[in-house]
């Protein structure tokens, strides 16, 4: 999700949960567990090093009406859509993905979430660096391509998210993604390389 108001915004992660998901309280417990994961600790540490404070309530569980898993809202933090979460791994993935958006927002003074290229770049990085497109996750989603699956997955998920941005048409989203692909896909900060 990125910049827009809690589940209404442009750079949300899309949900695959069924059967109503978790309660807000259950999801908040899952968020607390995700804060102990090495990748989440690493990203929070680097947000702090970049000068962005990640307080106690930076990541919150909420009920979402849209079919998204969560999102990042500038000035407010990260929301995880409890009603679209089923298992701990889903919560971890949303938190990691959205922390990458928060990191991008922190380090780029002029990041404009209404700019399709800026949004696409952060989505490319979040999709590539978070593990969203790991081969096992893709198999579980029903995508069985062996070669090039990761880049195809990132492209598919970038398009889905950027098209949801009210400032970006499908054509503008595709053009923006293609224009920034090489630079953003190869930008692995704060990691030394893609995890």
Active site residue ranges:
98
Q: Which residues contact 178 (CB under 8 A, 6 or more apart)?
A: none
- Chain-centroid distance, C-alpha 54: 16
With H, G, I as helix, E, B as strand and everything else as coil, classify residue 79. strand
* CA–CA gap between residue 126 and residue 86 (Å, rounded): 21
Distances (CA, A) of 141 to 94, 123, 136, 144, 178: 16, 19, 9, 9, 24
């Amino acid at each position: 999700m990125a910049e827009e108001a809690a589940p209404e915004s442009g750079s949300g992660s899309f949900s695959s949960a069924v059967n109503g998901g978790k309660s807000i309280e259950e999801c908040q417990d899952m968020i607390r567990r995700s804060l102990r994961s090495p990748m989440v600790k690493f990203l929070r540490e680097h947000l702090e090093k970049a000068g962005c404070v990640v307080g106690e309530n930076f990541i919150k569980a909420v009920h979402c009406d849209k079919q998204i898993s969560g999102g990042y809202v500038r000035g407010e933090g990260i929301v995880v859509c409890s009603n679209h979460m089923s298992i701990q791994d889903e919560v971890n993935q949303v938190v990691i993905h959205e922390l990458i958006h928060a990191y991008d927002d922190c380090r780029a003074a002029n990041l404009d979430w209404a700019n399709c290229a800026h949004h696409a770049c952060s989505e490319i990085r979040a999709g590539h660096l978070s593990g969203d497109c790991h081969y096992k996750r893709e198999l579980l989603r029903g995508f069985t391509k062996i070669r090039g699956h990761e880049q195809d997955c990132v492209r598919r998920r970038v398009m889905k998210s950027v098209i949801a941005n009210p400032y970006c048409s499908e054509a503008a989203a595709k053009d923006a993604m293609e224009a920034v692909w090489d630079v953003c896909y190869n930008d692995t900060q704060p990691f030394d390389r893609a995890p």
